Structure 1
Amino acid sequence: MALESCKTIALEGVIGHIVDIEANIGAGLPGIHVVGRTDTAINESRQRIKTAIINSQLAWPKTKIVVSLSPASLPKSGAHFDLPLAVAILLAGMKAQDEQLAADGYATWGTESFAEKTANTLFLGELGLDGSLKPVPGILSAMVAAPKQGYHTIVIPPGNAGEAQLVEDTRVLVAHNLREVFEWLRGNRHLKTPEHIPAPQRNQTLDFADIAGQHEAKFAIEVAAAGGHHLMMIGPPGSGKSMLAARIPSILPKLSTAQAVESTAIHSIAGSMGEIIAHAPFISPHASLSRPALLGGGSGNPRPGAVSLAHNGVLFLDEASEISAAVLDSLRAPLEDGEVRLARAQREITYPARFQLVMAANPCRCAAEDSSKCVCRPQVRQTYLRNISGPLRDRLDIALELTSQAAVLHTEDEEASSTIAQRVALARDRAALRWQSHGLDITHNAAMPSTYLRRHCAADESAMALMGAYLAEGQLSQRGVDRCLKLAWTLCDLEGEDIPNLDHIARALNLRGEGF
Structure 2
Amino acid sequence: MSLAVLRSRALAGMRAPPVTVEVHLANGLPSFTIVGLPEAEVKEAKDRVRAALQNARFEFPSRRITVNLAPADLPKESGRFDLPIALGILAASDQIPGDSFDQYEFAGELSLSGELRPIRGALAMTYAMYRSGDDAQTRRGFILPAANADEAALVTNASVLPARSLLDVCTHFATRDPQGKLARHCAKRGDSPLAWPDFSDVKGQLQAKRALEIAAAGGHSALLMGPPGTGKSMLASRLPGILPPMSDEQALEAAAVQSLGAGFDAARWKQRPYRAPHHTASAVALVGGGSTPRPGEVSLAHHGILFLDELPEYSRHVLEVLREPLESGCITISRAARQAEFPARFQLIAAMNPCPCGYYGDDSGRCRCSPDIIARYQGRISGPLLDRIDLQVMVGALPASELADAAPGEASAAVALRAAQAHERQLQRQGKCNSRLGPQEIDLHCRPEKAGEDLLRAAMARLNWSARAYHRVLKVARTIADLGGSASVQQAHIAEAIQYRRALRQP
Identify whether the pair has TM-score above 0.5, normalized to the shorter chain: yes
Quote the offset at 1:512 in angstroms: 1.1
| Conservation of the 8 A alpha-carbon contact between 1:152 and 1:169 | no
Residue number in structure 2 paired with 1:164: 152
Task: Check 1:201–1:52 CA distance in 2 against 1; reply closer, same or farther (3 A cut).
Answer: farther
CA distance in 1, matches of 2:456, 2:14: 41
- 1:364 shift after superposition: 0.8
TM-score, normalised on structure 2? 0.93
What's the CA shift for 1:412?
Answer: 4.5
Distance 2:190 2:213 in 1: 30
Are 2:476 and 1:487 aligned? yes
Q: For the residues of structure 2 that align with 1:514 and 1:357, how far apart are their CA atoms? A: 17
After superposing the two structures, state which structure 1 stretch, 454-463 or 331-340, moved more: 454-463
Which of 267, 283, 286 is the aligned partner of 1:291? 283
Q: Which deviates more from structure 2 when the two are superposed, residues 341-350 or residues 420-429?
A: 341-350
1:261 aligns with 2:244: no
Alignment match of 2:383 (pick from 390, 396, 415): 390
> 1:123-202 to 2 correspondence within 5 Å?
123-150=106-133, 151-188=139-176, 189-195=180-186, 197=188
Query: Which residue type is aligned with residue 296 of structure 1?
Result: G
Contact in 2 for aligned 1:161/1:197 (Cα 8 Å): no
Partners of 2:183 and 2:407 in 1: CA distance:
51
Shift of 1:327: 1.2
Q: What does residue range 296-335 of structure 1 map to in structure 2 within 5 Å?
A: 296-300=288-292, 302-335=293-326
Aligned to 2:62: 62
State the alpha-carbon separation in 1 of the partners of residues 462 and 332 from structure 2.
37
Percent identity (aligned):
38
- Decide which moves more: 409-418 or 163-172: 409-418
In structure 2, the partner of 1:12 is: 12
Moved more, 41-50 or 503-512: 41-50
* Residue number in structure 2 paired with 1:78: 78
Structure 1 equivalent of residue 492 of structure 2: 503
Q: Which residue of 1 aligns with 2:395?
A: 402
Matched to 1:282, the amino acid is: Y
Equivalent residue pairs, number:
492
The offset of 1:373, in angstroms, is 2.1
Q: Distance in 2 between matches of 1:236 and 1:274?
A: 37
Following superposition, the deviation at residue 452 of structure 1 comes to: 2.3
The 8 Å contact of residues 202 and 408 in structure 2, kept in 1 or not, is answered as no
Task: For residue 183 of structure 1, report the CA deviation from its aligned partner.
Answer: 1.1
Q: Does 1:282 align with 2:300?
A: no
1:478 has 2:470 as partner: no
Asked if the contact 1:202/1:277 (under 8 Å) is kept, the reply is no
Distance 2:116 2:90 in 1: 16
Q: Which runs of 4+ in 1 moved over 4 A?
A: 196-202
**In 1, distance between residues paired with 2:33 and 2:237?**
51
Does 2:41 match 1:41? Answer: yes
Shift in Å, 1:400: 0.8
- How far the C-alpha of 1:203 sits from its partner, in A, is 3.0
- Equivalent residue for 1:104? none
Q: TM-score, normalised by structure 1?
A: 0.91
Query: Do 1:162 and 1:199's aligned partners in 2 also have CA atoms closer than 8 Å?
Result: no
Aligned to 1:337: 328
Residues of 1 paired with 2:154 and 2:406: CA distance?
A: 39
Q: Secondary structure at the match of 2:10?
A: strand
Residue deviations 1:108-157, cap 9 Å, x none? x7x4xx22x21131101111122111211111111111133334311111
- Report the CA distance between 1:382 and its aligned residue: 2.3
Find the aligned partners of 1:422 and 1:303 in 2 and give their Cα distance: 36
- 8 A contact 1:161–1:274 mirrored in 2: no
Deviates more, 1:349-358 or 1:183-192: 183-192
The residue aligned with 1:121 is: 104
Paired residue secondary structure (1:65): strand
**Matching of residue 461 in structure 1 with residue 444 in structure 2:** no
Partner of 1:102: none
Distance 1:419 1:160, change over 3 A: same
1: CA distance, partners of 2:367 / 2:462: 32
Q: Is the 8 A contact 2:309 2:352 kept in 1?
A: yes
Supply the distance in 2 between the matched residues of 1:324 and 1:354 (Cα, whole angstroms). Answer: 22
Alignment equivalent of 1:427, drawn from 415, 422, 429: 422
Deviation at 1:411, TM superposition (A): 7.1
**Residues 305 and 364 (structure 1), Cα distance of their counterparts in 2 relative to 1, 3 Å cut:** same
Aligned partner of residue 16 in structure 2, secondary structure: strand
Letter in 1 for 2:370: R
Please say if residues 338 and 354 of structure 1, whose CA atoms lie closer than 8 Å, have aligned partners that are also in contact: yes
- The aligned counterpart of 2:136 is none
2-side partners of 1:88 and 1:169: how far apart? Answer: 27
The code of the aligned residue for 1:266 comes to: V
* Separation of aligned partners in 2, 1:183 and 1:202: 40
Q: Which runs of 5+ in 1 are unaligned?
A: 98-108, 436-440
**8 A Cα contact 2:154 2:189, kept in partner:** no
* SS of match in other structure, 1:181: helix
The aligned counterpart of 1:100 is: none
**Secondary structure of the equivalent of 2:51?**
helix
Query: Cα 1:274–1:161, aligned 2, differ >3 Å: closer, same or farther?
Result: farther
Q: Secondary structure at the match of 2:80?
A: helix
Measured in 1, the distance between the counterparts of 2:393 and 2:282 equals 26
Residue pair 2:121, 2:263 contacting (<8 A) in 1 also: no
**Equivalent position SS for 2:385:** helix
Give the SS at the match of 1:349.
strand
Alpha-carbon distance change, 349 to 410 in structure 1, aligned in 2, over 3 angstroms: farther
Q: Distance in 2 between matches of 1:9 and 1:163?
A: 16
Task: Find the residue that maps to 2:65 and give its secondary structure.
Answer: strand
- Displacement of 1:337: 0.7
In the TM superposition, what whole-angstrom CA distance separates every residue of 1:161-187 from its partner, at most 9, and x where no partner exists?
A: 112222123211111111111111123
Matches within 5 A, 1:230-245: 230-245=221-236
Q: 1:361 aligns with which of 352, 355, 359?
A: 352
Tell whether the 8 Å contact from 2:37 to 2:73 is kept in structure 1 after alignment. Answer: yes
How far is 1:477 from its partner?
1.2
Bigger drift between 289-298 and 129-138 goes to: 129-138
